Structure 1
Amino acid sequence: MGVIGVFLILVACSSHEPNDRSDEHVAEENHAEETFIENLDVPWEITRSEGTFYLTERSGMVANVTNRLERQSVQLSKAIHSEGEGGLLGLALAEDFPESQTAFLYHTYLEDSKTLNRVVKVELIEGVWTETDELLSNIPGSQFHNGGRVKLGPDGMLYITTGDAGEPDLAQNKESLAGKILRMDLEGNVPEDNPFKDSYVYSYGHRNPQGLAWNDEGQLFSSEHGQSAHDEINQIDPGNNYGWPVIEGDEVADGMTQPLYHSGNDTWAPSGMVFWNDQLYVACLRGEAIRSFQLKGQGTTVVKEGIGRVRSLFLDEENLYAITNNKDGRGDPVKEDDRMIKVNVE
C-alpha cells in the first residue's frame, strides 16, 4: 500500500454571493494519507458500521472492508444491470444496522428491454444482502444520468437522487420520478409533509444529482452534474425547482433556484459529498479531486488531487475516506486501482 501526499485546505473567505467564482482559492497543507484498501471494482458508495466498511461496487457486489477485502453477493428479485453509469449504486445502512442488519439499496435493472432504477430494502443474512421489500421501482434510467445516491436524513426519512435519464424535459415534469430528489419514509410511503401531495418529489429540475449532505442545522445540500461544465452545488429546499434544462450557471428564470456554486466553463463532475466544519467536501470525477466549498463565506478549494477520479467520501472524527473510480472506463488506472484512501484531517 503506497503513501501519497495529500493537501487539506480550510479557508476563511469573503461574504457569500451565489454564483460568484472570483474568490476561488488553491492552498496546500500536508496531512498524513494512506491507501486503506486496493483492487476495488468501480466502487460507488462508502458506508460503515462498527468498524466495518461496506462499499457498493457497480458490477453488483458489496465490498466488506476491515483490514482486508472480502466481497458479499446481493440477492435481489430483479437482476442488477451494470452498463454505462448504471449498476449497483447507492447504499444506506439503517440506524439500527448492528441489530437489524437492514439497509437500503439503489440499483439499475432491465424490464422489457427498458433501463430503469429502483430502491429496495435488504437484510444482510449470512453474508448475503437479500432483498426483503421493494420500496420504489420504475425510476427512469438509461446508460447515463441515473442519479443513484441514497441517504438517511436527520429527520429519519430516506432521500434519493435520480437523473434525467437522458431526457431533459423529464426534470421539469413533477409527475415523473426522473431528474429529482425524492423523499420517502423507511417503508416506502410518501411522507405527509412532502411539498407535493401524494408525491415522492422533494425537489425537481435536476440533471444528474449524485451527492447529498446535511449541515449541523439540518439544511440539505446536493451536488449535480451539468451539461458541458456548469456543474452545481445546490442548497435544497422542499418544493424548489432547480432549473434544468431551462437554466444553468448564472442564468435566471422566475420560480427557479440558482446554485450556490457552479463550475462555469470548468468541469468538476461532482458526486458524493460530506459536511464538516462549515464546509462541504465533494468528490469530483472528471475534476479528479476532492474540493471543499465554503458555506459561511464564498470560495471553493482543491483539497486533494493526484489520485484520479473520486466517486464518494466518508468522514469520521479524524479521517476523510475517498474511493476512486479510475476503472470506470473514463479514468487512467494504475495496477492498485480502484482504491479507498484515508486522510487524517485533525
Structure 2
Amino acid sequence: MKKRTAVSLLAVLLTAGCSAAADEQQHSSEARQESPADQHTSAQSAAPVTPETSDNAGAAVNEPEVVAANLEVPWSIAKAGDIFYLTERPGNIVKIDNGHVERQEVQLVKEIAAASEAGLLGLVLDPDFTGSGLAYAYYTYTDSSGQFNRIVTLRQDNGIWKEEELLLDKLPSGSVHHGGRLALGPDGKLYATAGDAGDRDSAQDTGSLGGKILRLNTDGSVPEDNPFAGSYVYSYGHRNAQGLVWTGAGVLYASEHGQSSHDEVNEIEAGLNYGWPVIEGDEAREGMVTPLFTSGSDHTWAPSGMAYAEGVLYTAALRGTAVLAFDLETGEEREAITGYGRIRDVMIDGDMLYFISNNTDGRGSPADEDDKLYRVPLPAL
C-alpha cells in the first residue's frame, strides 16, 4: 500500500463555538471524564430544537445549523428515513424527528459501565429497521465477572429499546480504549472496532479480540470467509479504532487513535497487521501496514466517526476539534469544519453532512445547550 501523510492545512472555515479539549496523560483523545452513571437520566422528552430557533439565527448560509441540542455525551449517529437516532453514553437513544427531540429508554441486560470512555457506544440500524425496529448496538458493562464490551441486537417498540439477542460477548475492556464503532458493510456483514483496553500486546495476538477490527454475521456467527478460520478477527494491530466507512467501490477505511500523537487513517484489508504497538505513525516494518494518513509526532486528531463522499474521507476529531477532510486523490488533509469543540461522529446523507459535538464528555468545554447535532451542505465543504 502506498503511504501518504497529511500535507496541508487550509484556513479555518468556521469560527463560532467551543474551546479545545483539555490535554490528557496517556492518550491523544481521552482524559478524565464523568462516568455514565453520573450523567444518566431516565427517559424523557427534551425541548424541541429546530434550525429556526437555534443559535444559528442569522448565520451565514454555509455555516452549520443546529438540528438538535441539549444532548448528553452523544456517540453515534444513525438515520432511518427522515428520523435520526443518536446513542448517548449514559445509556439512552435520542430520537430526532422534524426538530422534536425525544430521549428514549434503553433496557439492557447488563449494567452500563461507569469507566472512562465507556457506555452505550456504536449503533447501526438494520436495513429493514422501519418495519422491524431492529438495530445493533455495542456497549460496555459490568457484572460479577468483571467489565467487558458486548454486541447485541436491540428492538424498538413504542419508544422503548430492549436488548434482544447477544451476538458477541466479553470483548476486552479496561479503564480506556473500548473501541465501539459498528457498521454494516456492503457485504451485509457487521463490522466492529474493538480497542486494546490498555493491553498493548493484545493487539498483535490474533487469539485476542482486543485491538482488532471484527467481522461477524448478523446472527453473531463467524463468517466462513474471515481471514482467520473460526475467528471474528478481520484485521489486527490496532490501538483504539473508532471510525469505519466504505467507498462506493467497497474499499474499507478506519480511523485510529495513536499514543498521544501518531493518529491514523488506514485502508483496511482482510488479515493485515496495522502495527500497534510495534510501529506507529510513519514507521515501517515488513509485514505491517503504515497508515495512509497520520497526524505525525507533534499533532493529534483523536479521530472518531467517519463518512465518505466524492473521493474524500470526512473524519470526526475529538482532540483535533474539527471535522477533517482527507482527499484520497491528492493525499491532502485539511480542516473542513472547526469552532464547535470536540467532534465524535459524522454522517453524510444526500448532499448534507451531519456531525455531533462531544463537549459534555468531561474533557471538553461545553457551550450553551451542548452537545448538539449539526448539519451543513456538503458542497460547501
Query: Shared topology, TM-score over 0.5?
Result: yes
| Contact 1:116–1:138, Cα closer than 8 Å, also in 2 | yes
- The answer to whether residue 216 in structure 2 is matched with residue 202 in structure 1 is no
Shift of the alpha carbon at 1:153? 0.4
- The answer to whether residue 5 in structure 2 is matched with residue 20 in structure 1 is yes
Match of residue 328 from structure 1: 361
1:58 equivalent among 59, 73, 89: 89
Shift of the alpha carbon at 1:20? 3.2
Aligned equivalents of 2:122 and 2:69: distance in 1? 20
Match of residue 114 from structure 1: 146
1:169 equivalent among 192, 201, 204: 201
Match of residue 239 from structure 1: 271
| Contact 2:12–2:337, Cα closer than 8 Å, also in 1 | no
2:102 equivalent among 63, 67, 70: 70
Match of residue 4 from structure 1: none
Q: Deviations over 1:271-325 (max 9, x none)?
A: 0000101010000000000000011121101100000000001111121111011
- The answer to whether residue 341 in structure 2 is matched with residue 308 in structure 1 is yes
Match of residue 153 from structure 1: 185
Aligned equivalents of 1:19 and 1:114: distance in 2? 41
- The answer to whether residue 307 in structure 2 is matched with residue 274 in structure 1 is yes
Aligned equivalents of 1:130 and 1:272: distance in 2? 25
- The unaligned stretches of length 5 or more in structure 1 are 1-15
| Contact 2:12–2:338, Cα closer than 8 Å, also in 1 | no
Aligned equivalents of 2:63 and 2:352: distance in 1? 10
Identity of aligned residues (%): 49
Matches within 5 A, 1:244-259: 244-259=276-291
Shift of the alpha carbon at 1:336? 1.2
Paired letter, 2:349: D
Q: Secondary structure at the match of 2:130?
A: helix
Q: Secondary structure at the match of 2:112?
A: coil
Shift of the alpha carbon at 1:113? 5.8
Shift of the alpha carbon at 1:205? 0.3
- The unaligned stretches of length 5 or more in structure 2 are 14-59
Q: Secondary structure at the match of 2:10?
A: coil
Shift of the alpha carbon at 1:133? 0.5
Match of residue 46 from structure 2: none
Alignment root-mean-square deviation, CA: 1.3
- The answer to whether residue 158 in structure 2 is matched with residue 126 in structure 1 is yes
Aligned equivalents of 2:257 and 2:146: distance in 1? 23
| Contact 2:183–2:244, Cα closer than 8 Å, also in 1 | yes
- The answer to whether residue 304 in structure 2 is matched with residue 319 in structure 1 is no
Aligned equivalents of 1:132 and 1:114: distance in 2? 22
| Contact 1:17–1:298, Cα closer than 8 Å, also in 2 | no
Shift of the alpha carbon at 1:132? 1.3
Shift of the alpha carbon at 1:220? 0.3
Paired letter, 1:42: V
- The answer to whether residue 377 in structure 2 is matched with residue 344 in structure 1 is yes
Q: TM-score, normalised by structure 2?
A: 0.85
Shift of the alpha carbon at 1:112? 2.7
Q: TM-score, normalised by structure 1?
A: 0.93
